Amino acid sequence: MLAGLGAALLLSISRVMPAKALMPADAITGTDPLTLAAAPREQPVFVQKGKASWYGPGFGRRRTASGDRFDHRKMTAAHKKLPLGARVRVIHVASGGSVDVTINDRGPHRRERIIDLSPAAAHRLDIMDSGLAEVRIEVYAGAQPTDEIREAVLDMASATPPQGGVAPARRRRHRDAGVGVES
């Protein structure tokens, strides 16, 4: 009797939620499903807005910048500057959908794009057909897997101006005078 009730409950839930939502997150992503669970309670230390694309065809089993083999089934992404191994939340601006990915490669290699997603992450954000989407990237210090990555994220965040803000003054060498000047 109880087994039948459990099956009926699961059937009613599956009508509301997609089948992949009922699977454990690590079965889909290969990552820890709880890593970013605490993230909404803290403010992101780094935010970036721009276009996301996805990559994968022709990359199967090749080595990424992190040394891992590219796996189109994992929730991974390529970013130009974020530390390898950093955990990032990518939010599709139009739909509000989000996905948590691990940065394991460098790219995208197009100036107008800010992140390249694996096919699994692009599928989760529903951008496979369009190929591009406006996204917001959020990085949370508390969600990072190691202290080393957390420190690298915090260092990067402190050196990056807020979106639309002004970069902090940095010392650079003046070409002509050969002396340090504030920029």
- 77-115 residue pLDDT tens: 999 999 999 999 999 999 999 999 999 999 999 999 999
> Domain for residue 170, yes or no?
no
Residue ranges making up the domain that contains 119: 43-164
pLDDT > 90? residue 75: yes
Residue 106 lies in a domain: yes
Give the type of residue at 149.
Answer: I
C-alpha 88/C-alpha 137 separation (Å) is: 7
CA gap 62, 106 in Å, rounded:
13
Report the domain count for the chain: 1
Q: Would you say residue 8 has pLDDT above 90?
A: no
> Using an 8 Å Cβ cutoff, are 72 and 63 in contact?
no
Domain with residue 47: its CATH number is: 2.40.40.10
Stronger pLDDT, 7 or 44, i.e. the higher one: 44
Asked, for residue 11, whether it belongs to a domain, the answer is: no
Q: Is residue 96 part of a domain?
A: yes
Examine residue 59 and state whether it is found in any structural domain, yes or no. Answer: yes
What is the rounded (10 degree) CA torsion for 120, 122, 128, 134?
180
The pLDDT confidence band at residue 49, using thresholds 50, 70 and 90, is very high
Residue 18 domain-assigned (yes or no): no
Using alpha carbons only, give the angle 29, 35, 38 rounded to the nearest 5 degrees.
135
Structural domain contains residue 86 = yes
CA 136/CA 115 separation, integer angstroms: 10
Q: Is residue 67 in a domain?
A: yes
The per-residue pLDDT of the chain, averaged, comes to 76
